Amino acid sequence: MKIFVTGATGVLGRAAVPRLLADGAQVLGLARSQQNCRKISEMGAEPVKACLFDPDAMAQALQGADALIHLATHLPRAKDLKRRDAWTENDRVRRDGTRALITAADTAGVATILYPSVVFAYADGGTAWLRAADANLRPIDALVSTLDAEHLINDFAARRPARRGIVLRFGMFYGPQSPESRQLYELARRGFWMPMAPDRSYKSMIWIEDAASALCAALASAPSGVYDVVEDRPCTQAEAAAALAQAVGRQRLFPLPHVLLRLLISADLREVAARSQRISNEAFRAATDWRPAVPDQRTGWARIAEALAQDTPPTPNLSRPHAGHNNT
């Protein structure tokens, strides 16, 4: 299988590309710079220099590809999260970039497009389990573009039944290779943590390596559709704080004042962060052979503590390909 990946050098791309290669795929990665070309080559993939927004150039780059995984984003830096204009380029990647890629995929005859979205657009669900099939969407402005991209992917599949358009709505990424996870861990070591929501609010997370394995599983067997990819057992904020405290060897953590969030993120992002989102991965598990290696935050934060104690992220287990994956 020949797979073209945008965003191959991002957090998810760096976890996914080695898994795709281990499953026997030929992987090409879109590169905008010589530095990214080098990073993609070091992973064992083939770098391709082209403009994401140029359908003709991308059609040439996609020739012979069986599948396209569109991981590219342009998220604002932490200090710019409050500024709406800082999200403009990310919106362009999601809308214009996805549209250009679909045009190119049509021209090149690509059979499958996989797009990673997010669960954050779901309305507050309290203690109820939320599912893509029937969840109430309530996106803020910064999240509308990812839903627009989802619609483009769904339309790609609907126009020709032989093609697949797959959307994976991921929970919040975490793992030892995540700078945000490392920051939270170091804060906890000092006895503090930053609550994003009330104690009883659920947050659905996903271990980065589990997100990468979900991409491989989706390519192997998922029908077209929108799926939630999260841990098995989402925690409440109180449970998450307890898991983090246990990981750093403390009885409890002291919450930092909520007012600090106002310095970091805008009012609409704070509203999203405060929502309770207890999300089920049942539909994706039923459609594929995927099972998360890290089922909850108690397991996850313990693994992060172990990895950071050694000061090296754990190496993903690539020894056993997903059942049913086409290794040609």
Residue range 90-100, pLDDT digits in tens: 899 999 999 99
- Give the pair of three-digit tokens for residue 116: 């990673």
Q: Is 263 helix (H, G, I), strand (E, B) or coil?
A: helix
Give the sign of the dihedral formed by CA 116, CA 95, CA 97, CA 152: positive
- The string of DSSP codes covering 44-60 is TPEEEE--TT-HHHHHH
pLDDT of residue 87: 78
Please name which of 95, 112, 116 lies closest in space to residue 226, comparing C-alpha atoms.
Answer: 116
Per-residue buried b or exposed e for 228-241, using 16+ beta carbons within 10 Å of the residue's own CB: bbbbeebbbbebbb
The structure's pTM equals 0.91
Average pLDDT over residues 213-224: 97
pLDDT at 166: 98
Alpha-carbon distance 302 to 299, whole Å? Answer: 5
pLDDT of the residue at 2: 98
Model confidence pLDDT, tens digit, residues 265-304? 888 888 999 999 999 999 999 999 999 999 999 999 999 9
Q: Give the chain's mean pLDDT.
A: 92
In tens, the pLDDT along 23-37 reads 999 999 999 889 999
State the pLDDT confidence band at 307, using cuts at 50, 70 and 90: very high
Tell me whether strands 254-255 and 192-193 are parallel, antiparallel or unpaired. Answer: parallel
